[in-house]
Amino acid sequence: MPLSKYLANSVYCYDFPLRNLSHDLVDISTRRILVDIHGRIKFLNRSDSILLAMKDHYLKRKLESIEVKKKSISNLLSEMAKTGFQGRRLGEVFQAWEEMLRDENVTIFMGFAGSMSTTGQWKIVRWLIEKRFIDVLVSTGANISEDILEAMGFSYWQGSHLVSDEELYRLRIDRFYDVYADEMEYRKMESLIGEFTETLNPSYAYSSREYLYLFGRFLNEKGINSIVAAAYRNRVPVFSPGLVDSGYGIANVILRYKKNKKIIVDQMKDFEEIVKIGAESKKTGVIYVGGGVPKDFIQLVAVALEFVKGKDQPHEYAIQITTDSPQWGGLSGATFEEAISWGKESPRGRNVICYCDATIALPIVVHALAERVEKRINPPDFSLLLERT
């Protein structure tokens, strides 16, 4: 009878010492017998023992089912990490992020994609900055403009995706899937951006980091406690390589055509600055909420460091929460295994992707971190970079 049938039907396995037996792949120090459900005995030969050892290689970590009882969010996620599918991945995202926070030698970059601030997530990111659970933020323009609307005292509204968008347009209501915004309030946010931009030097080429640092100071002085205002206070650099793809672009076009005032944002200066942060870091970790431009802007830091430092310095930690999948070939869904081929992630690093809506995963993971980590020890200091602004 083939060994596979014995493996399938066996209920007992006994080991007996065996001398001077080895194999290129597996060291065999015992000879095994199997007893099947009918009590029949099979002595395993060398090849059978190797096959059984190979099976043991895969069956190492027992899955542990979750017991229902009172527990913290962090304990629940730790238990989920011992299960399967995306529940396991969510637990592993939490564990990897916690490891980063306890590693005193890592600079943590966060990529914040999409239009997440409209869904009630922006205060979570502001809290991460205030606690220094992230060291560098790379965001879409949307996330660091649409938070300002609510910080100004206006509101987003729960709505429905099953609605007449033609009617919403007539009423000047903007829709983000099932969230509404008053277009007139949105324009006031854009006007505030324009008011700030008008104070800048039109002949100076700003990086987005410089622009947003100064804007954070402007908002902080007005008592508007947005993401970039918190970043200004806590000296966390914020980059937005796609800044114009948002209210910032609209605000500055209005300024250009109504007041003949223009502003220069230098994208190459952006990349030079973020690569400098990477070069001055002992090691780096990345957190991606979504994918898009923020993800690859940070990923390319590791590629650039090979030329800047003359040696490989891939990201040692990498976690992503995304709904994008890899088979379409886009960067947002590209796996960390693929990124290893580019030198972006370390093959020996802590790399975890969780396929989940970030509006579900991010609040759960961050609340768990708040339970486990009270304070970050010795986060990196970018004062010299910021003071040159």
Which of the residues 131, 188, 344, 375 is marked catalytic? 344
Q: What is the 3-state secondary structure (H, E, C) of the chain?
A: CCHHHHHHHEEEEEEEECCCCCCCCCCCCEEEEEEECCCCEEECCHHHHHHHHHHHHHCCCCCCCCCCCCCCHHHHHHHHCCCCHHHHHHHHHHHHHHHHHHCCCEEEEEEECCCCHHHCCHHHHHHHHHCCCCCEEEECCCCCCHHHHHHCCCCEEECCCCCCHHHHHHCCEEEECCEEEEHHHHHHHHHHHHHHHCCCCCCCEECHHHHHHHHHHHHHHCCCCCHHHHHHHHCCCEECCCCCCCHHHHHHHHHHHHHCCCCEECHHHHHHHHHHHHHCCCEEEEEEECCHHHHHHHHHHHHHHHHHHCCCCCEEEEEEEECCCHHHCCCCCCCHHHHHCCCCEEEEEEEEEEECCHHHHHHHHHHHHHHHCCCCCCCCCCHHHHHCC
Closest CA to 259 of 324, 181, 202: 202
Instruction: Specify whether the CB–CB gap between 139 and 294 falls below 8 A.
Output: yes
- Between CA 106 and CA 282 the distance in angstroms is 6
Torsion, Cα 21 24 28 34, to 10 degrees, reads -110
* Residue in 268, 302, 256 with CA at minimum distance from that of residue 283: 302
Is 344 annotated as catalytic? yes
Q: How many CA atoms lie within 13 Å of 157's alpha carbon, on the beta-carbon side? A: 13
Separation between Cα atoms, residue 129 and residue 320, nearest integer Å:
18
275 and 304 Cβ atoms separated by less than 8 Å:
yes
Active site residues: 344
